[in-house]
């Protein structure tokens, strides 16, 4: 039993080491290109793709955007973004609960995107597994909708501690659901005191300008 456990740990360590090497290569590539890369992580149905749609519309004509979409099946999310005029590549994991850096490398090589200012990596819907995998991004974004409940940050502390930005979505539904926004703000602040906290509604547009301004600031800082 002990031997099997040791072997499993060794395999996991080798997988993570290979991922770290690929992530370092991606990070160097993105730095050379001056591309800001954001890894969006959330539960399924939090509104990640809808947030990206609203972002694309808001930044049209200002920044060159592209996206890599991770899902277990279907190309629906990538198709939604392509309809808005940005290049998007779908990665189908076939059951895996996260993206890894080697998958992103392969997808970018196959997609051959033109030069872009901001690349969004929309991870597979999951608050646990994607947290451990570096994709060469500049920062992680935790996306949490008001329909999910206010207990998520302390229940899934790793992602909210590591994400430099937390984006609350579907804020237009706050009058209709039991969601203690200030309690969530306090939990996230406890886990990551230096993190940024935004409240948005893709339906009404509230908070989208602040989110897009954050992206523009981060891009300018990276290129500086």
Structural domain containing residue 68: 2-223
Query: What is the per-residue pLDDT across 144-160, written as a single tens digit (0 to 9) for each?
Result: 999 999 999 999 999 99
Q: How far separated are the first and last CA of the chain, in Å rounded?
A: 53
Comparing 90 with 8, which gets the higher pLDDT?
90
Give the pTM: 0.93
Number of structural domains, the chain? Answer: 1
Query: What is the per-residue pLDDT across 179-193, written as a single tens digit (0 to 9) for each?
Result: 999 999 999 999 999
- What average pLDDT does the chain have? 95
Examine the pLDDT at 12 and tell me if it is beyond 80.
Answer: no
**Helix (H) or strand (E) segment spanning residue 29:** helix 2-33
Examine the pLDDT at 211 and tell me if it is beyond 60.
Answer: yes
Neighbours of 151 (CB within 10 A): 12
Examine the pLDDT at 9 and tell me if it is beyond 60.
Answer: no
Examine the pLDDT at 220 and tell me if it is beyond 80.
Answer: yes
Q: Which pLDDT does position 218 carry in this prediction?
A: 98
Query: What is the per-residue pLDDT across 65-94, written as a single tens digit (0 to 9) for each?
Result: 999 999 999 999 999 999 999 999 999 998
Phi, psi dihedrals of residue 34, rounded to the nearest 5°: 70, 30
Residue 201: give its domain's CATH number.
Answer: 3.40.50.300
Q: Which pLDDT does position 15 carry in this prediction?
A: 72
């Amino acid at each position: 039993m002990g031997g099997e456990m040791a072997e499993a740990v060794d395999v996991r360590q080798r997988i993570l080491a290979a991922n770290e090497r690929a992530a370092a290569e991606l990070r160097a590539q993105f730095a050379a290109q001056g591309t800001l890369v954001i890894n969006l992580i959330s539960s399924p149905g939090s509104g990640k793709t809808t947030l990206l749609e609203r972002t694309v519309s808001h930044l049209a004509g200002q920044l060159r955007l592209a996206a890599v979409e991770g899902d277990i099946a279907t190309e629906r999310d990538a198709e939604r973004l392509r309809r808005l005029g940005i290049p998007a590549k779908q990665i189908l994991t076939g059951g895996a609960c996260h993206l890894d850096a080697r998958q992103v490398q392969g997808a970018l090589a196959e997609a051959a995107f033109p030069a872009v200012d901001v690349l969004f990596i929309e991870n597979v819907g999951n608050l646990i597994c994607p947290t451990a995998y570096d994709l060469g991004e500049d920062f992680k974004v935790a996306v949490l909708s008001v329909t999910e409940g206010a207990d998520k940050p302390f229940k899934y502390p790793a992602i909210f501690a590591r994400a430099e930005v937390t984006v609350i979505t579907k804020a237009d539904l706050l009058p209709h659901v039991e969601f203690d926004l200030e309690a969530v703000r306090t939990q996230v602040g406890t886990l990551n005191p230096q993190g940024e906290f935004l409240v948005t509604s893709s339906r009404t547009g509230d908070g989208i300008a602040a989110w897009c301004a954050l992206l523009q600031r981060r891009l300018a800082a990276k290129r500086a």
